[in-house]
Structure formats: structure tokens, C-alpha cells
């Protein structure tokens, strides 16, 4: 939804995170879908939804971004958003936890 124009700078990533938080809290959006590698994003999804066996923290969950440009998703702004999403999901039922998914499958 936010698209290509939101790639590349700290300011854009910060604004995208803030917009995403508003969509989640005020409009009840239930997932984030990004232009990212599906397996790497699923590692992050497992963490934010607190699945058994998931990465122990946000930084570890972001380490799986090695096949898609690291700067695009494994950056400080996404780290902070991931920590916010993890905390937000702690107060949600299993059914209502917000997911984080990639829409690309790369090799």
C-alpha cells in the first residue's frame, strides 16, 4: 500500500512504521505485507506473533534478511517497529495477532 516511494531513507521508514501503527490500532489492520522475501519475513512473523521456537528477539529475527537487500528490511527503523509489533501482539488473542508477511519468493 505504501509502495516504492517509501524505500530508502530513515525518514521514510519511520513514517511508514508510524502509518502502519495507526492502521493497526485505529483501523484494525491484521497484517503487514511487504515487498520482501517470504521466508525471511516469515521468520519475523514468527517472532512478532510469539510462536514457539521463534527468534529470541527482534534483532535475531531480522538476521534472516540475507537474500533480499538487507538495508530494505534489516534496519533500525524496522527493528523498532518489530519491537512495537511484538509488544502490541502480547496483548492480543492468538487469533488477533498482527502478522508480517513477504510477498516475494526468491532463491
Q: What is the DSSP letter of 20?
A: H
Residue 46, CA distances (Å) to 3, 12, 26, 86, 97 in order: 24, 25, 23, 10, 11
What are the domain boundaries of the chain?
A: 4-104
pTM, two decimal places: 0.89
Mean pLDDT, residues 6-19 taken together: 84
pLDDT 10s digits, 17-44: 999 999 999 999 999 998 888 888 999 9
Amino acid at each position: 500500500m505504501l509502495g516504492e516511494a517509501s524505500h530508502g531513507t530513515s525518514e521514510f521508514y519511520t513514517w511508514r512504521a508510524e502509518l502502519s501503527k495507526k492502521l493497526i490500532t485505529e483501523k484494525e489492520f491484521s497484517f503487514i505485507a511487504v515487498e520482501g522475501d517470504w521466508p525471511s519475513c516469515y521468520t519475523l512473523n514468527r517472532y512478532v506473533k510469539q510462536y514457539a521456537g521463534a527468534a529470541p528477539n527482534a534483532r535475531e529475527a531480522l538476521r534472516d534478511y540475507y537474500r533480499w537487500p538487507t538495508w530494505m528490511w534489516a534496519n533500525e527503523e524496522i527493528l523498532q517497529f518489530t519491537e512495537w509489533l511484538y509488544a502490541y501482539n502480547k496483548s492480543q488473542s492468538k487469533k488477533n495477532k498482527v502478522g508480517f508477511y513477504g510477498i516475494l519468493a526468491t532463491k
